[in-house]
Amino acid sequence: MIRPKIPSNPLPTGLLTPIVPAVYEPQAQVPAVCHCQHPAPAAQQAAAPAGGSAAVDLVKRHPVLIVGGLVVGAVLAIATFLAIALVAVAVPIGALVMRSLLKDLRSNR
């Protein structure tokens, strides 16, 4: 059976120091003493709306966000289509230029 290799940390001197996992010992945290007036922490968090999630609530309240998202999406889609069209036009033009250059090289011989 294959035996696992003992992890070691090779030093430049050639000595091997075995790696010993660090033991975490939690320490008691002492609260900082300050002389300012802090408000008491809230006993309960605000209750979630019974009608649904916060995302649905946000959509109901802010239709401008929906319109803004659609506008940004449309702009990105148009930019992508323009980039594809530019590449689709540039590749054949490059091929015609290359063919013309190669044709001139062959005719000069």
The residue that leads in pLDDT, 24 or 77, is: 77
Name 48's Cβ contacts closer than 8 Å, sequence gap at least 6.
54
Q: Residue 93: which pLDDT band, with cuts at 50, 70 and 90?
A: very high
Identify the pLDDT of residue 63. Answer: 80
Q: Which residue ranges make up each domain of the chain?
A: 54-103
Q: What is the DSSP string of the chain?
A: -PPPPPPEEE-TTS-EEE--PPPP---PPPPPP--S-PPPPPSSPPPPPTTS-HHHHHHHH-HHHHHHHHHHHHHHHHHHHHHHHHHHHHHHHHHHHHHHHHHHHHHT-
Contact between residue 17 and residue 8 where contact means Cβ atoms under 8 Å apart = yes
Contact between residue 54 and residue 62 where contact means Cβ atoms under 8 Å apart = no
Q: Please write the tens of the pLDDT for every residue from 38-91.
A: 776 665 555 555 555 666 666 566 788 888 889 999 999 999 999 999 999 999
Q: Please write the tens of the pLDDT for every residue from 1-21.
A: 566 566 565 556 666 566 666
